[in-house]
Each structure stands twice: as structure tokens, then as C-alpha cells.
């Protein structure tokens, strides 16, 4: 198999439709008789629902009204624990809890009606922070507010701490973050007794929604069909949440007898849907004078919000990434996902890893500062090497040399020159100080541990009557390039032109379950299945006598067409088989957490205005080893966009919580960086092929979320000598740290170990 398409920047499959406005998103779609739906929410963080009243001034007889009583099956959004109700029934656990659904042909009147519904709720004490959840100031979930607890153990942590030269402790926090896809959540649902429920929507994971609809309606999978329409971004925000909005629309459609469309406006989308889990991490490091980290004792906690949803999975990824790309021989990591009374936090690019990586990468700079060792040097002294083990005991099989990546990134960033120049300039009187900082990290590709084995994803390819080949997968195009890379991979496997390949619309009635579009798995895991399935189709065709090697693209198309004319159909499927070396123990968190990792070094140059405490990123270098770059333009786009999102998380995007509700639920007040706030972002790649990825490709999509936070805050430390312990490092946060003159000895309690 020769790569003719892979490694080139072919035009995006759906680019023409998108730039000409032909692409149809859910709000562009309408059905005869369709009406609109809306959601009445609790507004109270925690309480007991006493009653629901339909207030005066509204022609209620024109409305379809749905409450928990109208649910034909089980009142839960099926995911892992099924603890989240579809509609609140008696108990309120967060201020955006859906209680009543309304539908009406007039959108404007619908909004007036929404405001006229009166909920009688007795308020109960609520919990609004990780600390309060752990301290059980009120018990709001289970017996102890803890959704899940995991630990990782490696070596002998007690001995490491007893024998270290110094122990440094640091406390770090990261805030919630809104995904801010361009297109808000939205779906259309229809219902009939014969066909059951059909959902059209903006979503990442069609089969998640199907699995949620089945118990809710008490129907079989053949009567719960989900179709993905063109989707304006997801970033994880359309992984599990669409199951909620789809369930709501479906309940309304069933009662109304006509299709129902629900489109959230930006305020509702921001306040009610999922966000990145806030986190709090305590890192205790046992360190030798030369900077070798001999022991890491990490306490990692994330705020899951009111229901468990995906928090345990986010926790596990965060935990596994908490010890970074280092060989530290003695590790103890405690991870806890806790309940609070805010809307459930959920999937967001990086999925727990950015949070724990922030803490460790910040802490390494604090250790370096304390010991007088430069940030690059302290990392060199601790990098894991092939053959050594990560925190879970996983032996590094990737052919990676972090020192080489570090050298290349530092050179690209002009590290040495900038360090020297800033040191001189920062002594001048002006209010602007500059600094440079870095972060080194890895990110596991695909589902954690045995996740991929359990998913057992399937991909199909089929020949069409006119001789094209269509990829059949539930993996969605959400702006990241799924359609394009699948066509490249299939095209090269078949040895045909790019235009020969089509990508089928994800529709649970027609495509096999290739798993969710999450976890940087689409290219590596699903792409490999596309390749395998395509090779299967090619074998069938070659064996049929209709095609002989060597063949041209035209000859292939003719042969395909002839095969379909002769036999009716030509399809091939591939199912995921776990690489044989992967061993994972879910109970002890020991073994091969991921089949492969992508490795990265990010460098940020930052200026800090000491008059206004504003930090601005002036230059950004993002170097990553990703196995193989399938599409250079898309890959660079993923990195640039991810770094921009990471800069937002690091400096600007501050969710202001009031009693568990996002108070700044509009883009005027929730500040994401615009193009003028962003630096040039230089995306650089290294390639060390992974045997189980298509042409060697590993994951890319989430990686860029991991590095910007710590690299930027480390650059602030370099600029002004202030170690910021939390992000977003808004000017207010920087000012408080500045006025307190936060230094390593305050951020990290340093304990010199007495030697006998």
C-alpha cells in the first residue's frame, strides 16, 4: 500500500457545502407541522419539588406540556450510572435541572410561557465547591458526595519521601470552561408508533443517544433512530449532552404527534449544558538536590456537578496523566470525582488530562525555582525513556526521545535568546515584563485501559452502484476533518483517487457502531478500521475476477460497479481487535493505559503588564510527535485551534458561579480570546509511526489542550517571579498573587528532609 493521499492536504470533503452555505445544520431543517420545544428549569441549586403551576396570561390549551409523568420508560439519561433524571421528579439537584417541557408553534410565545411556569420548590442546603463536597458540609450524592475514587501506586512512596533531599508541596486549581462550539445544541425529534423515535441533530455520538432513548421509551433499537446533521463543533460538549436534549424533544414529539425542534440559545447552552470539570490538585514531590523527582504523591480531585455522568472516566484519564512523561519510580495518586450542585460537568477536549497536567507542569517549575535548576533542565533529568515505565507501570514502547523534542521546540521558540533578552529588558523601568515558559507532556490515544476492547467498534465500507466506495461509520464530522481523513485512508488502502471515496451520513439505521467521536480515537482507532475494511473490500474485488493488479482508479470504479450489478452489494466490515501486548487491570490501575501516546513540548512567550496585571501570549510554539500526520492542514488547524482554546482556559475564560449557576452566561461576559488576543501559533510535528494506527497515526485532537495552561503560567513566573497556582490567570488572579508576592515557598511548602 502506497500513500498517495495520506500526508497531503486534500480539500475537505464538506468544504464546498460549508463555504457556500449549502450545508444544512439542524436549525436549517424543517418538517411539515413541526413545532418548537423549550425547557423549564429549576433555578434552585437543591431542593424538593412540591408542585408545578401554569401561571396566568398564557393560552395553555394551545401548548404541549410534558413532565416526568409522561415518560413511558425509565426516567433517566442512560450513561454509566443512570442517576441523572431526564426530567426532575421530586428532587432538584442543580439550578438548571429540567422540570417541565413545553411545545408550541410560536417560538416567541413559547418563551413567554416558559417564564410563566411556576415551580414550588423547598430549598435544601447545597454544595458548591470541591472542598465542601469532600468535607460533606451537606451530603448531596450517595453517602459521601464521591462519585468515584481511584488510586495509582508505583514503587514505594514512603521510602522515597524518607530518603529525598527535599519535599515540595503545591496546591493548584483549574476552572470550569465552556466548550463554545459555534452551533449551540439543537435537535429535531419525530415520533410514530410504527417507526418509534427519530432524532436529527447536532451531535458527536449517535449511538449514545440511541442507547439513552431505548430505556426512556421502552423500545428496541430498531425503534430509536439517530441521524447526525452537519455539526458546528463539539469539543466534547456534544458527547453526552445531546442525549438529554434529544430525549426532551422526543418526549414532546410523542405527546404532540408532530415533529418538535429544540434549539438552545447561547445563554441556555452556556448555563445548562456541560463544561470542563473544575479541579483541585495537591502535588507533593520528593526531590533530590540534582532535580531528580524520586517520589510523587498526588491528590487529584474534580468537581463532577450534580450527577455522575462521565466523571469517573474523566477522573481516570486525569489520574493516568497526572505523573506526566516522567520516569518517577515511586508514585501514589489518589483521584476523586465529587458531587456538587451545579449542572453536571462533562466531556471537553482533554478530558481530565489538562487539569492534572497543569498541576504537575506548574509544580516542576516551582521545584526548579527552589533548587535553582532551569525549567528545561529539570525536565531532562526526569523524562521517561523507551523501556522505562510510566505511573501505571506501562512500559514505554513508543520510539520517543523527549530530549530531542525539547531541543527542537526550544530552538524554534528562541528560548536561549529570549531568556537573555528578557533578563536585560525586565530590569528597565517600564511596566511591561516578559517571560518564557514551557510544558512537556503526553496524551493517550483512544479509550482508557480496556475501553476499546469493550467498545469493539465496527466500520464498514460499501461499493455504490456507480462504483464509488462509501465509508460507513458512526464517527462524526464535527469540524475536525473526519470525512476527509477517512477518505484519505480508504483511498490509499484501495489505491484509488480521493473522489472515489464517499463518507456516509452517520445514521444508526445504516451505519455500524464505530464508537463515540471522542478521546482522539477517530483517526487512530476508527481510521485503522476504515483501512482494514477497505483492504477487505479490495481483496473481495480482486478475488472476484473483475479487477487485476495493477489497476487505475477508473478500472477500480468500473470493477466495483460491475460487482454491484452482478451480486447486488459489495460490503466489507472490520471490527476492533486490541493489540496483543495491551494488559490493563481496571481494579489496580496497573498496565497499559493506552495503546500509544502522543508526546509534546509547548513553549509560550508572555508579556505581563504590571499596571493592569494583564498577561498576553506573544508567541507560541507547539511541537508534537503524533505518529503520522494524515492531513497537514487539518492537523495544524487542530493544534492551532486547540492552543487558542488552551490560551482561553489559561488566561481569559472564567466561569463566574453563583449558587451553582453560571452567572456570566453570555459571550459579552464570558471572555474567550478573539484573534487579536492570540499570538502566532506555530504547530510543528515529529513522526514516529505507531503500528496500530493508519499509516502510523496517533491521536492529535486533545493534545493541544494540555500544554498552554502550564506553559503560559510558567512564563508568567519567568516574567515577574510570581507563581500563579490557578487558572484562569485573569488579571484579578495575577494581581492578588502579585500583591501577596506569591513565591515558591508559599505556593509550595518546602520541607528539607533531615538526614540521620
Partner 1 sequence: MRAHVASYDLVQPGSLREVLTLLAREPGVYRPLAGGTDVMVVYAGGKLAHTKFVDVHGLRELRGIVVTDDAVTLGALTTYTDVQAEPTLGREFPMMGQAASETGGWAIQNRGTLGGNIANASPAADSPPALLAYDASVELTSTRGARWVSYATYHTGYKTTVRAEDELVTRVRIPRIAPGAQGSRVHMFRKVGPRKAQAISKVSFAACVDVDGTRITSARVALGGVAPVVLRVVATEGALVGADVTTLDVAAIGATLSREVTPIDDIRSTARYRRRVAENLFVELTRKLKAHVGLGSQAR
Sites of contact with partner 1 (CB under 8 A): 107-109, 111-112, 115, 265, 267, 428-432, 610-614, 652, 656, 663-664, 666, 668-669, 671, 673-674, 676-677, 730-732, 735-736, 739
Q: What is the DSSP letter of 70?
A: G
Q: Report how far residue 378's alpha carbon sits from residue 212's, in angstroms, rounded to the nearest whole number.
A: 48
CA–CA distance from 574 to each of 50, 516, 536 (Å)?
A: 53, 16, 8
Least gap, CB of 612 to partner 1 (angstroms) = 5
Least gap, CB of 665 to partner 1 (angstroms) = 9
Is the Cβ of residue 264 or residue 447 nearer to partner 1 in the bound state?
Answer: 264
Is the Cβ of residue 269 or residue 492 nearer to partner 1 in the bound state?
Answer: 269
Strand partners, 279: 174, 302
| The three grid cell numbers given for residue 220, joined into one nine-digit string | 428496541
Secondary structure class of 590 (helix, strand, coil): strand
Is the Cβ of residue 18 or residue 266 nearer to partner 1 in the bound state?
Answer: 266
Q: What are phi and psi of 726, to 5 degrees?
A: -145, 155
Count of all residues that appear for the chain in the document: 756
Least gap, CB of 613 to partner 1 (angstroms) = 8
Is the Cβ of residue 203 or residue 650 nearer to partner 1 in the bound state?
Answer: 650
Closest-CA residue to 641 (of 44, 181, 139, 67): 181
Is the Cβ of residue 109 or residue 412 nearer to partner 1 in the bound state?
Answer: 109
Count Cα neighbours of 465 within 13 Å in the Cβ-side half-sphere: 2
- Chain centroid to CA 699: how far? 12
| The three grid cell numbers given for residue 315, joined into one nine-digit string | 477522573
Least gap, CB of 615 to partner 1 (angstroms) = 12
Is the Cβ of residue 207 or residue 652 nearer to partner 1 in the bound state?
Answer: 652
Is the Cβ of residue 647 or residue 711 nearer to partner 1 in the bound state?
Answer: 647
The answer to whether 339 and 142 are in contact (CB under 8 A) is yes
The single residue listed with the C-alpha cell 515511586 is 330
Least gap, CB of 126 to partner 1 (angstroms) = 20
Is the Cβ of residue 585 or residue 732 nearer to partner 1 in the bound state?
Answer: 732
Least gap, CB of 671 to partner 1 (angstroms) = 4
Q: Report how far residue 185's alpha carbon sits from residue 446's, in angstroms, rounded to the nearest whole number.
A: 25
Q: What are phi and psi of 543, to 5 degrees?
A: -75, -15
Q: Report how far residue 444's alpha carbon sits from residue 450's, in angstroms, rounded to the nearest whole number.
A: 13
Is the Cβ of residue 240 or residue 653 nearer to partner 1 in the bound state?
Answer: 653
CA–CA distance from 462 to each of 210, 229, 557, 568 (Å)?
A: 23, 21, 12, 11
Q: Report how far residue 673's alpha carbon sits from residue 675's, in angstroms, rounded to the nearest whole number.
A: 7
Strand partners, 102: 38, 65
Is the Cβ of residue 50 or residue 666 nearer to partner 1 in the bound state?
Answer: 666
Is the Cβ of residue 195 or residue 740 nearer to partner 1 in the bound state?
Answer: 740
- Bridge-based pairing of strands 260-263 and 590-591 is unpaired
Least gap, CB of 70 to partner 1 (angstroms) = 25
Is the Cβ of residue 159 or residue 669 nearer to partner 1 in the bound state?
Answer: 669
Least gap, CB of 432 to partner 1 (angstroms) = 7
Is the Cβ of residue 22 or residue 112 nearer to partner 1 in the bound state?
Answer: 112
Least gap, CB of 268 to partner 1 (angstroms) = 9
The answer to whether 251 and 66 are in contact (CB under 8 A) is yes
* Cis geometry, peptide bond prior to residue 719 (ω within 30 degrees of 0): no
Closest-CA residue to 532 (of 439, 460, 438, 614): 460
Query: What's the CA dihedral at 317, 321, 327, 329 to 10 degrees?
Result: -60
Q: What are phi and psi of 44, to 5 degrees?
A: -115, 140
* Cis geometry, peptide bond prior to residue 76 (ω within 30 degrees of 0): no
Least gap, CB of 609 to partner 1 (angstroms) = 9
Least gap, CB of 96 to partner 1 (angstroms) = 15
Assign 3-class secondary structure to 83-94.
CCCCCCCCEECC
Least gap, CB of 355 to partner 1 (angstroms) = 23
Least gap, CB of 360 to partner 1 (angstroms) = 29
Is the Cβ of residue 8 or residue 115 nearer to partner 1 in the bound state?
Answer: 115
Least gap, CB of 42 to partner 1 (angstroms) = 18
CA–CA distance from 579 to each of 183, 390, 632, 690 (Å)?
A: 37, 19, 27, 11
| The three grid cell numbers given for residue 583, joined into one nine-digit string | 494488559
Secondary structure class of 334 (helix, strand, coil): strand
Q: What is the DSSP letter of 663?
A: S
- Please work out, in degrees rounded to the nearest 5, the angle formed at the alpha carbon of residue 343 by the alpha carbons of 340 and 345: 80
Q: What are phi and psi of 267, to 5 degrees?
A: -65, -45
The single residue listed with the C-alpha cell 514551557 is 438
CA–CA distance from 219 to each of 209, 215, 216, 474 (Å)?
A: 13, 7, 8, 21
Least gap, CB of 108 to partner 1 (angstroms) = 5
The contacts of residue 304 (CB under 8 Å, 6+ apart) are 147, 277, 311, 314, 337, 338, 339, 340, 344, 345
Least gap, CB of 51 to partner 1 (angstroms) = 24
Is the Cβ of residue 235 or residue 652 nearer to partner 1 in the bound state?
Answer: 652
Is the Cβ of residue 676 or residue 754 nearer to partner 1 in the bound state?
Answer: 676
Is the Cβ of residue 111 or residue 299 nearer to partner 1 in the bound state?
Answer: 111
Least gap, CB of 510 to partner 1 (angstroms) = 36
Q: Report how far residue 360's alpha carbon sits from residue 440's, in angstroms, rounded to the nearest whole number.
A: 10
Amino acid at each position: 500500500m502506497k500513500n498517495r493521499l495520506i500526508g497531503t492536504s486534500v480539500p475537505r470533503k464538506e468544504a464546498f457545502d460549508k463555504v457556500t452555505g449549502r450545508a444544512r445544520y439542524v436549525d436549517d431543517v424543517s418538517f411539515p407541522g413541526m413545532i418548537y420545544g423549550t425547557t423549564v428549569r429549576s433555578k434552585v441549586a437543591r431542593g424538593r419539588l412540591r408542585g408545578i403551576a401554569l401561571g396566568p396570561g398564557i393560552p395553555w390549551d394551545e401548548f404541549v406540556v410534558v413532565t416526568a409523568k409522561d415518560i413511558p420508560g425509565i426516567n433517566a439519561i442512560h450513561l454509566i450510572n443512570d442517576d441523572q433524571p431526564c426530567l426532575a421528579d421530586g428532587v432538584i439537584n442543580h439550578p438548571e435541572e429540567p422540570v417541565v417541557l413545553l411545545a408550541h408553534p410560536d417560538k416567541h410565545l413559547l418563551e413567554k410561557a416558559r417564564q410563566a411556569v411556576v415551580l414550588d420548590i423547598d430549598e435544601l442546603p447545597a454544595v458548591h465547591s470541591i472542598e465542601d463536597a469532600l468535607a460533606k458540609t451537606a451530603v448531596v450524592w450517595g453517602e459521601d458526595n464521591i462519585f468515584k475514587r481511584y488510586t495509582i501506586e508505583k514503587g514505594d512512596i514512603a521510602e522515597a519521601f524518607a530518603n529525598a533531599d527535599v519535599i515540595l508541596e503545591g496546591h493548584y486549581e483549574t476552572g470550569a470552561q465552556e466548550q463554545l462550539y459555534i452551533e449551540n445544541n439543537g435537535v429535531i425529534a419525530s415520533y410514530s408508533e410504527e417507526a418509534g423515535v427519530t432524532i436529527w441533530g447536532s451531535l458527536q455520538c449517535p449511538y449514545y443517544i440511541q442507547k439513552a432513548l431505548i430505556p426512556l421509551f421502552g423500545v428496541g433499537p430498531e425503534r430509536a433512530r439517530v441521524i447526525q446533521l452537519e455539526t458546528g463543533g463539539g469539543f466534547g460538549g456534544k458527547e453526552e449532552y445531546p442525549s438529554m436534549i434529544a430525549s426532551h424533544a422526543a418526549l414532546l414529539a410523542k405527546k404532540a404527534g408532530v415533529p418538535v425542534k429544540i434549539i438552545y440559545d447561547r445563554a441556555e447552552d452556556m448555563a445548562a449544558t456541560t463544561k470542563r470539570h473544575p479541579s483541585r490538585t495537591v502535588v507533593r514531590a520528593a526531590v533530590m538536590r540534582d532535580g531528580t523527582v524520586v517520589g510523587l504523591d498526588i491528590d487529584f480531585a474534580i468537581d463532577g456537578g450534580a450527577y455522575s455522568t462521565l466523571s469517573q472516566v474523566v477522573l481516570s484519564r486525569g489520574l493516568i496523566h497526572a505523573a506526566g512523561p516522567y520516569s518517577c519510580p515511586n508514585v501514589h495518586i489518589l483521584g476523586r470525582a465529587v458531587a456538587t450542585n451545579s449542572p453536571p460537568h462533562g466531556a471537553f477536549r482533554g478530558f481530565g488530562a489538562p487539569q492534572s497536567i497543569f498541576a504537575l507542569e506548574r509544580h516542576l517549575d516551582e521545584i526548579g525555582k527552589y533548587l535553582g535548576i532551569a525549567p528545561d533542565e529539570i525536565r531532562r533529568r526526569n523524562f521517561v525513556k523507551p523501556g522505562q515505565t510510566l505511573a501505571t507501570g506501562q512500559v514505554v514502547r513508543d520510539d520517543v526521545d523527549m530530549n530531542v523534542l525539547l531541543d527542537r521546540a526550544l530552538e524554534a521558540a528562541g528560548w536561549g535568546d529570549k531568556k537573555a533578552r528578557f533578563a536585560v529588558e525586565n530590569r528597565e523601568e517600564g511596566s511591561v515584563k516578559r517571560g518564557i515558559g514551557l510544558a512537556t507532556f503526553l496524551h493517550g490515544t483512544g479509550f482508557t485501559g480496556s475501553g476499546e476492547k469493550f467498545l469493539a467498534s465496527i466500520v464498514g465500507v460499501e461499493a455504490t452502484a456507480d462504483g464509488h466506495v462509501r465509508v460507513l461509520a458512526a464517527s462524526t464530522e464535527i469540524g475536525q476533518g473526519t470525512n476527509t481523513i477517512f477518505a484519505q485512508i480508504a483511498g490509499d488502502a484501495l489505491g484509488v483517487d480521493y473522489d472515489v471515496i464517499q463518507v456516509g451520513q452517520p445514521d444508526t439505521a445504516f451505519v455500524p457502531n464505530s464508537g463515540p467521536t471522542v478521546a482522539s480515537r477517530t483517526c487512530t482507532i476508527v481510521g485503522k478500521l476504515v483501512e482494514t475494511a477497505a483492504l477487505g473490500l479490495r481483496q473481495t474485488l480482486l478475488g472476484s475476477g473483475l479487477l487485476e493488479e495493477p489497476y487505475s482508479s477508473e478500472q477500480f470504479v468500473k470493477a466495483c460497479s460491475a460487482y454491484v450489478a452482478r451480486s447486488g452489494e459489495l460490503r466489507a466490515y472490520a471490527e476492533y481487535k486490541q493489540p496483543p501486548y495491551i494488559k490493563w487491570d481496571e481494579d489496580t490501575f496497573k498496565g497499559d493505559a493506552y495503546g500509544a501516546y502522543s508526546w509534546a513540548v509547548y513553549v509560550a512567550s508572555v508579556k505581563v503588564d504590571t499596571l493592569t496585571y494583564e498577561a498576553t501570549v506573544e508567541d507560541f510554539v507547539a511541537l508534537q510527535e503524533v505518529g503520522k500526520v494524515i492531513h497537514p492542514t487539518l492537523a495544524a488547524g487542530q493544534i492551532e485551534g486547540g492552543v487558542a482554546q488552551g490560551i482561553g482556559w489559561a488566561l481569559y475564560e472564567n466561569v463566574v458561579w453563583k449558587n451553582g449557576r453560571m452567572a456570566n452566561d453570555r459571550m459579552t461576559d464570558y471572555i474567550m480570546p478573539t484573534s487579536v488576543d492570540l499570538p502566532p501559533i506555530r504547530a510543528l510535528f515529529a513522526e514516529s509511526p505507531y503500528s496500530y494506527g493508519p499509516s502510523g497515526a496517533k491521536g492529535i485532537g486533545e493534545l493541544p489542550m494540555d500544554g498552554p495552561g502550564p506553559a503560559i503560567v510558567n512564563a508568567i513566573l519567568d516574567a515577574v517571579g510570581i507563581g500563579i497556582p490557578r487558572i484562569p490567570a485573569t488579571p484579578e488572579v495575577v494581581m492578588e498573587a502579585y500583591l501577596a508576592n506569591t513565591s515558591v515557598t508559599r505556593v509550595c511548602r518546602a520541607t528539607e528532609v533531615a538526614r540521620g
